[in-house]
Structure 1
Amino acid sequence: MSRANSASEERATRVPSLAAFTSYLASSGWVLEDSDDQTSMWRLGRDQHEEIRVVLPTTQRVRDYGDRVYDAIRTLSFVERRLPEEITGDINFGGADNVAVRLTPDAPAGEAPLLLAHSAISALKNFVVASAASLDYDSLVLPPRRPQRAEAYASQARVSTQPGSFVLSLALPLSDIYAEESDESTPTGQDALVEVPPQPFGRKVTNRMLATTRKAQQLAVEVGEGERPISSFGEFVPHAPNATELAALSSLGGPDHDVYQIRFAKSPLTGGTSESAVLRVTPGQQRILGEAADYLRTKQPRAGVTVTGLVVRLFREGGFGRGEAVIQGVSDDSGEARRYRVELGEPDYNEAVRAHADGLQVTATGDLDIRGTRRSLRRLTSFAIIPGLEDES
């Protein structure tokens, strides 16, 4: 078999079905201009690129179907200013934005050290989860337990590599499984009609990732030039990146903070077109972003932290009313054994006294506040003796 035929068959296995392709064209602003028994001709239904046409076969049974569709995708690539691989993923997904990271390792093209690749992929995953979570949780420090929708959405994303120094390409579906479950009558799969709302969940995630990357880089430049202090990352302003997003942007360049480029390309299926955005993040900026993430995690309260351990100290003025307890235990936020102060109402304080006297473990959930070496749980949502341990003595 010739190398040309091999490449043709390889492309044929990746190209979309004819139904998916024509659905994509109709949904992204193309109009069927002419058709006969062998081909269909499409033109863009806008004033731009009036002279450009896309020609498709009328059946997938033609021998060169893959090559002919690939040529059509290259035409779309010129019109949309996106890579052919991004358009193919967009069609096959039924709608997907793309985030690509170009790394610059000292290695042959297409290769990267394992530590760098692992760091970048982990950072991409954390970036998606953090941005998705921020849509439902408005805070500079996310809770230890991420919203289930954010984790589920990240599991839908697909990562691949592209030609270049070392390019990680992430396809982010416009719709998530929560939206799909709310409309079970909508067909799924490659041949499904593309019906995307103006602002689907996935587009909100992409917009968040782009906006916070721009804001984080802007602040990093200002901090690096001495115009603003690191505490400026703690200001709750529009598009302010949370600590997890900052840590992800800091880790995309790997342990050595190698320079990288991050590119955002949006699907036209939500209406209109959008130019791709490319940002270059330097080693110095990455280090500042990492410091900012650490700053937020040590200075900002963290909600929903649970501590489990023993009551080692009690204090209250008088024999009744509120009091303070100190729990020596482990939090689900850091996994480290430390002491945490909690303020308790009288019923909970009496339970803490009993736990202290009998050596029983307790659990407390609230907002973690760190002031130097002092850790406190405030605004408690629960406090209780762990059931079952009383009977073990």
Structure 2
Amino acid sequence: MSQLDAAPGRAAFKAPGLEALKNYLQRSGWSLEDVDGRTSLWRPADGVADRVIRIVLPAQQNVRDYSERAYEALEALSFVERRLPQEIVNDILFGGADNVAVRLTPDVPPGEAPLNLAHSAISALKNYVVAAAAALDSDSLVLPPRRPQRAEAYAAQARISTQPGSFILSLALPLDDVYSTETDDSVPPGQESLVQVPPQPFGRKVTNRMLAAARKAQGLAEHVSEGNLPLSSFGEHSPGAPNATELAALSSLGGVDHGTYQVRFAKTPLAGGATLPAFLRITPGQQRILGEAADYLRTKQSRAGVTVTGLVVRLFREGKYGRGEAVVQGVSDDSGEPRRYRVELGETDYNEAFRAHGNGLLVTVTGDLDIRGTRRSIRRITSFSVLPGPEDE
């Protein structure tokens, strides 16, 4: 997916404000070279290879050709940063935003996609963002059913758009999230974070995680495909190891038919450390392996915060008093499938389980799910209770 795949025309262009544009130039390393009563002349940062590039902006925004001059400035920025003009506009409006763009390849006219493919890709992108944000606080290969509130809130801040040409989904990921941004009413909208961007904002961490997880997942999928590694290698903890939700998202981006897709990660220079965009091409075979890996992790890996609701079908303890073991047959909140779970209970909870078993009452238990072969156990229990029956209501 090249930079020009989805270049928008000027007719659809909405120019950012002059002050916001100048603020962006300053924050992204451009220097003011000359200024007079009519224009200002800007040169790029020292690291730019083509040093003859210049940007000319009018001194006032109310000039007749301001929109054209702004578009020309964005075209120059687009060439230097290898990003689309609209991505830079989103960057300015967000006060700093990385971009993740996915190019789908359905066998339909350019700019179109089957509804089921578009729905699958958009849902997968949301899950991808949430899973990457959640992974910043959890190194578990299977995330708990309830995602961290910050991860969900951050995904809600992201903005998705489509680009003409090929069918491209463009996702703007703001650098700051609602947990770290303090709004200053004295700063015009869209310029808040341009004033002060932390060295490693939350959004950049999410982008870095998404890229690292995708690279790791693709590499493992290629090794599994070639027979160099077993599928169980996805279950090994290592830096950047993708979790099951990230794997499922990467598998679903190509739709149920696993059509080839390309993904590009482009970082804003406002957070420092800006590099050329990174490109990945995920093949149908890789997507199928990623989906199998997600299923493998969810069925074979232990995970925290699982709740099981069901009937007590077996009880055992060595004496009349003390701790004991119960077997609960029921459904967990993360799989939805009926299974049997062994639960070690203290004396009080064991007596409650005995009462539930004798009266046919449902129980609910929450703890960490441990899987050893076909045996499933709930350990480190955080809650156990008997649900009231009809006679208790």
TM range (shorter): over 0.9
Q: Is the counterpart of residue 330 in structure 1 residue 331 in structure 2?
A: yes
Distance 1:241 1:19, change over 3 A: same
Q: Distance in 2 between matches of 1:73 and 1:177?
A: 28
How far is the alpha carbon of 1:224 from its aligned partner?
0.4
Single out whichever of 105-114 and 78-87 deviates more from structure 2.
Answer: 78-87
How far is the alpha carbon of 1:358 from its aligned partner?
3.3
Matched residue, 2:32: 32
Matched residue, 1:23: 23
Q: Distance in 2 between matches of 1:352 and 1:222?
A: 47
Matched residue, 2:212: 211
Cα contact 1:364–1:383 (8 A) shared by 2: yes
How far is the alpha carbon of 1:193 from its aligned partner?
5.5
How far is the alpha carbon of 1:22 from its aligned partner?
1.0
Q: Distance in 2 between matches of 1:262 and 1:305?
A: 33
Cα contact 1:17–1:190 (8 A) shared by 2: no
Alignment of 1:59-208 (within 5 A): 59-181=60-182, 187=187, 189-192=189-192, 194=194, 195-208=196-209
Q: Distance in 2 between matches of 1:188 and 1:131?
A: 31
The sequence identity of aligned pairs, in percent, is 70
Cα contact 1:20–1:192 (8 A) shared by 2: no
Taking only aligned residues, the RMSD between alpha carbons, in angstroms, comes to 1.9
How far is the alpha carbon of 1:185 from its aligned partner?
7.4
- SS state at 1:320 partner: coil
Cα contact 1:93–1:190 (8 A) shared by 2: yes
Matched residue, 1:282: 283
Matched residue, 1:376: 377
How far is the alpha carbon of 1:390 from its aligned partner?
7.9
Matched residue, 1:319: 320
Single out whichever of 97-106 and 356-365 deviates more from structure 2.
Answer: 356-365
Distance 1:322 1:21, change over 3 A: same
User: TM-score with structure 1 length normalisation?
Assistant: 0.92
Matched residue, 2:46: 46
Q: Distance in 2 between matches of 1:125 and 1:8?
A: 30
Question: Runs of 5+ in structure 2 lacking a partner?
Answer: 1-8
How many residues are matched?
Answer: 383
User: TM-score with structure 2 length normalisation?
Assistant: 0.92
How far is the alpha carbon of 1:389 from its aligned partner?
4.8
Matched residue, 2:301: 300
Distance 1:147 1:31, change over 3 A: same
1:325-367 deviations in Å (ceiling 9; x for gaps): 1223332212333332211122211121122233333221111
Distance 1:118 1:193, change over 3 A: closer
The one-letter code sitting in structure 1 at the alignment partner of 2:36 is D
How far is the alpha carbon of 1:35 from its aligned partner?
1.9
Matched residue, 1:228: 229
Q: Distance in 2 between matches of 1:218 and 1:191?
A: 39
Q: Distance in 1 between matches of 2:276 and 2:47?
A: 17
The one-letter code sitting in structure 2 at the alignment partner of 1:250 is S
Question: Runs of 5+ in structure 1 lacking a partner?
Answer: 1-6
How far is the alpha carbon of 1:372 from its aligned partner?
4.8
Q: Distance in 2 between matches of 1:10 and 1:235?
A: 48
Q: Distance in 2 between matches of 1:61 and 1:137?
A: 50
The one-letter code sitting in structure 2 at the alignment partner of 1:313 is R
Matched residue, 1:351: 352
- SS state at 1:309 partner: strand
- SS state at 1:278 partner: strand
Cα contact 1:313–1:325 (8 A) shared by 2: yes
